[in-house]
Amino acid sequence: MKQAALVFLGGGLGSVLRYVIGIYLNSTKDDIPYGTFLANILGSLLIGLVLGWSLRSETLSQNTVLFLATGFCGGFTTFSAFAYENHVFLKSGDFMTFALYTIGSFCIGFLAVFAGMWMVR
């Protein structure tokens, strides 16, 4: 039960932070939802750092990893918003933004995970 509570608390904190970032960055006049993009990239970097650190040393407990990786990063990053925003791009016929946002999110997200794991080596 304690582990579920840790995931719950971490997820809540991550979700609130994503919401705040979205308020400031998704409300710009540009078409690209920079808040969602930033949350997904930062979350990818953070999960790489956390999981890389937990593999490298034994200083992070399983509960800390659950709180940060599963909870916080799970709540902070958002595939559902990413999918919806891409739906909007496709529906409006904005194929270039769709392609740039999708490819950029996947490529930079993967690179951020790898960078996080590399940084703690």
Nearest Cα to 86, choosing from 70, 63, 105, 109?
Answer: 105
Does position 49 have pLDDT exceeding 90, yes or no?
yes
pTM above 0.85, yes or no: yes
Does position 29 have pLDDT exceeding 90, yes or no?
no
Confidence of residue 65 (pLDDT cuts 50, 70, 90): very high
CA end-to-end distance (rounded Å), the chain:
32
pLDDT of residue 27: 75
For range 44-60, the mean pLDDT: 92
CA 121 – CA 44 distance, rounded (Å) = 17
Report whether 38 contacts 25 (CB < 8 A): yes
For range 10-21, the mean pLDDT: 97
**DSSP per-residue string spanning 1-44:** -HHHHHHHHHHHHHHHHHHHHHHHHTTSSSSS-HHHHHHHHHHH
**Structural domains counted in the chain:** 1
CA 87 – CA 11 distance, rounded (Å) = 25
pLDDT of residue 31: 78
**Domain range for residue 93?**
2-119
